[in-house]
Amino acid sequence: MFRKHRLHFILSIGCWVSFLLGAQLAHAAQVKGKVTDENDNPLSYATLYVEGTTLGTTTNIEGDYALNLNPGNYNLVFQYVGYLKQKRSITVGQANVQLNIQLQPETLQLREVIVNAQSKDPAYAIVQQTIDHKKQFREEINAYQCQVYMKGLQRLDERPDRILGVEVPIDTGIVYLSESVSELTFHRPDKVKERMISSKVSGNQSSFSFNQASQTLYSIYDDLLKVEGITERGYVSPLAKNALFFYDYKLEGVITEGNYLINKIRVYPKRKTDPTFEGHLYILEDLWRVTSFDLTLTKDHQLEFLDELTVTQVHAPVADSTWVMLSQNFEFYLNTFGFKGSGYFSATYSDYLIELNPEYYDLTSSNTETIDTSGVTAPNPQLSYTSIDKKDIKNEILKIEEGSNERSDAYWDKMRPIPLTTIEKKDYYIKDSIAVIKNAKAYKDSTDQIQNKISIGNILYSGYQYQNSYQEYTLSIPSIIQTLQYNTVEGLLFNLGIQYTQSRDDNKVNRVTTHLRYGIASHRFYGQMEYRHYLNHRNFETVTISGGQFVKQFNPDDPISPFINTLETLLDRRNYMKLYERTYLALGYQREITNGIMLKPAISYSHRHQLHNETDYSFFYRDSRDFTSNTPDHIKVVDTSFEDHSALQVQLGAAIRFGQKYISLPDKKIIVENKYPKLNITYTKGIATLGADIDYDKLELEVEDDISMGLFGTSTFRLGAGAFLNRKNMEFMDYQHFNTNASVLARYDEGYFQLLDYYYYSTDQHWAEGHLVHHFNGFMFNKLPLIRKTKVQAVASLHYLYTDAIDNYLEMGFGVEHIFKLMRIDYFSSFIDGHHEAHGIRLGFGF
């Protein structure tokens, strides 16, 4: 679920903020109170709004609400799922108004039903009517703008002291509390723009909220509802086209609200483990619209890291029969890896500006294109001639305004539509009060002293990191397992990597990485250093300088991990890694020249020296198996050894993503996923000058993307092709090599073959390759009674290669991932020109 890991949130607003704050709020009064049930228990997240408008709010978890209104007469509507709607007429003057509301449980009337052997519950006919009309409900609004207030809270009730020997630094209690105010613009079918005007994070005034309204635009009329960061597969809506295959329905009764009859329908899965919800829909008779719903997911429904998630929405009418969302709430409970907690994200939507679709509304009579339903100055909708131009919605899906995190407490007291609860006020007070103390050098030094303590877990397997929070730098040192390696060229070796990172305002500024390496069998000492300077985080401008004398794999992508090679060499007596010595100096640069086009030029000069095996030791198979030489085997090249030589290489790379979506922070840019593939173009030139011997030209093209297939899972593909335009003078390390894996311990990185020899089919001419991996995300195994309880998932893959030496190489694999949430196992079979070549099992990490 977290493969791509990922939840993205996005926001925006205009110049009316100054007017709203400076002019309107100066004269507005506040209507506030508490909403309770028949027993005076608070009703959390109850919705209230001014009748005929979209001006409203919701109650907090304690049932309290607050709504700013200009002087005038208003009808306030209070509603809560499962309770009767209540309307109150009030007059607002200059003084605040206290209005407490007690809602009564809904009174359900039973419909007259004719029962026979063939009859179905009338809920099915009501649901079918809604499904038949949902195309209109999805398309009747061309575009809208609205203001969104979001508040998120996450608390931790229990936590483990350590994970894999490493101390867990998070305390119990509220771990995240944040509020945001945004302007959200949507244009059908899927264009979204958001600008965050205000952001407040408890205990960290310099950070920004990740409460992003645009990522929670879920419509009950969509066929599939997918919550980023919660599910990979998505969940079938109770109103999907094929919903009757997944759900059963029961009409629990009818509610009368004014001129409306509302059907209360219970929805529940036909099969408990299907990706489905359970809960209630409230559907208007004759209009067949959903007025509100509450739907719940549990672990039975393939939730990965949560025990339970409940989604609630409340809608209200505007512009005659058009309805919009007024409030939305996500409430969840967590229980995984020893962590237990809960939280919520609550949002209110107001001040709508709606552009209606002329296919469903006659707009010619009034010559209007847009309806302003803000209700700030009057309770009735106002007509406007301003349309919402989708051309204004660019690829910047979220812009966080500079200074949005610097709003005063007075601002939030006025703008906050959902009052803070007692515990939230306390959290703000305590964390904001000690924020100044936390920024002091003495405090940071004291916390660093605790964090910088060395443990056995740091030494053995996790590595150690020294942190200086005040000066904003870290020093990282690998563990013993990461430092000790073994290969046949150097024998037992110590490869110590030390990394120094200097940051400023949570952004990396400089990074220095040093590697010191000594092989006991080879008696050779190596060292290299890389310096990376981050010039501009908004366009990803970076300069990299590196150099030294070090060992290098013939494939510059280093496909054989040192850990896997160490195990294979010592335990299975197979020395897959082939190394040569390189003394080099390199310079790299990257910069995004315009949105979606990244240039990556680089130049390097190196002297390359042949290395040989220096040890013959292994734990097993010493009498039955020989190590291979340190020169790679190749189908055409009899001897891949080489004489000492020098190489001057220039590389020009470009990464292109058309229609690239991104988030703008005041000091950085964040790229988000979008529907278009990514194109990589690389041209490499070996130049025979300045004493260099290598002379060749190589051009490479690569396309990669992810494709969501709804309930059927997600596919990832990578297609590559290229050719050598000139190969006047080359050595074997200059060939085009392919990322492969011959060990039973797999690397499941994208673009890897699993049964192909590392160098046997490398080429100096032309090639084409393709990789497709499909993650079923529970589509297959959730049907199997015993297997589905383990929450493992199926995965299938297909890999293809064509070169001058091999016409058609094909690999097919099928496996199981998410084993114990972490592991993956696959069975692969390979074919050359349709003839079976090899097969094998691969084990690795897959989650």
Instruction: Return residue ranges of the chain for CATH 2.40.160.50.
Output: 472-845
pLDDT at 8: 32
Contact predicate 532/522, CB 8 Å: no
Nearest to residue 279, comparing CAs of 306, 301, 310?
310
Contact predicate 837/847, CB 8 Å: no
The total number of residues shown for the chain amounts to 847
How far is Cα 402 from Cα 309, in angstroms, rounded to an integer?
Answer: 34
Q: What's the Cα-to-Cα distance from 550 to each of 285, 398, 579, rounded to whole Å?
A: 76, 44, 10
How far is Cα 814 from Cα 836, in angstroms, rounded to an integer?
Answer: 16
pTM given for the model = 0.84
Cis, peptide link before residue 189, omega less than 30° from 0: yes
The residue type of 317 is P
Three-class DSSP category at 272 = coil
Within the chain, what is the greatest distance between any pair of CA atoms?
A: 97
pLDDT at 708: 86
How far is Cα 466 from Cα 835, in angstroms, rounded to an integer?
Answer: 55
Q: What's the Cα-to-Cα distance from 514 to each of 497, 531, 549, 557, 845, rounded to whole Å?
A: 6, 9, 12, 19, 28
Q: What are residue 684's DSSP bridge partners?
A: 651, 698
pLDDT at 448: 82
How far is Cα 470 from Cα 306, in angstroms, rounded to an integer?
Answer: 36
Which class for 798: exposed (0-12), middle (13-18), buried (19 or more C-beta within 10 A)?
Answer: middle
Total Cβ atoms within 10 A of residue 776? 20
Task: Give the per-residue SS3 of 337-391.
Answer: CCEEEEEEEEEEEEEEEEEECCCCCCCCCCCCCEEECCCCCCCCCEEECCCCCHH
pLDDT tens digits for 63-91?
999 988 889 999 999 989 888 889 999 99
Q: What are residue 602's DSSP bridge partners?
A: 588, 651
- The region that residue 127 occupies, defined by phi over 0 for left and psi between -120 and 50 for alpha, beta otherwise, is alpha
For the domain with range 472-845, which CATH number is right: 3.30.70.790, 3.40.50.720, 1.10.287.40, 2.40.160.50?
Answer: 2.40.160.50
pLDDT at 163: 66
pLDDT tens digits for 543-586?
999 999 999 999 999 999 999 999 999 999 999 999 999 999 99
How far is Cα 314 from Cα 82, in angstroms, rounded to an integer?
Answer: 12
Contact predicate 480/459, CB 8 Å: yes
pLDDT at 380: 36
Cα torsion 379, 179, 235, 663: sign: positive
pLDDT at 318: 75
Q: What's the Cα-to-Cα distance from 275 to each of 237, 238, 764, 782, 824, rounded to whole Å?
A: 9, 11, 49, 9, 22
pLDDT at 231: 66
| Ranges of the chain with pLDDT below 50 | 1-26, 117, 366-369, 373-386
How far is Cα 6 from Cα 673, in angstroms, rounded to an integer?
Answer: 10
Contact predicate 66/44, CB 8 Å: no
Token output for 383: 């007509």
pLDDT at 166: 60
How far is Cα 631 from Cα 731, in angstroms, rounded to an integer?
Answer: 12
Residues 6+ apart with CB under 8 A from 121: 113, 249, 250, 251
Unique residue bearing structure tokens 């994070």 = 201
With residues binned 3-state (H G I as helix, E B as strand, rest as coil), the percentages for the chain, rounded to 5, are: 15, 50, 40
pLDDT at 125: 94
CA atoms lying within 13 Å on the CB side of residue 603 = 2
Contact predicate 56/78, CB 8 Å: no
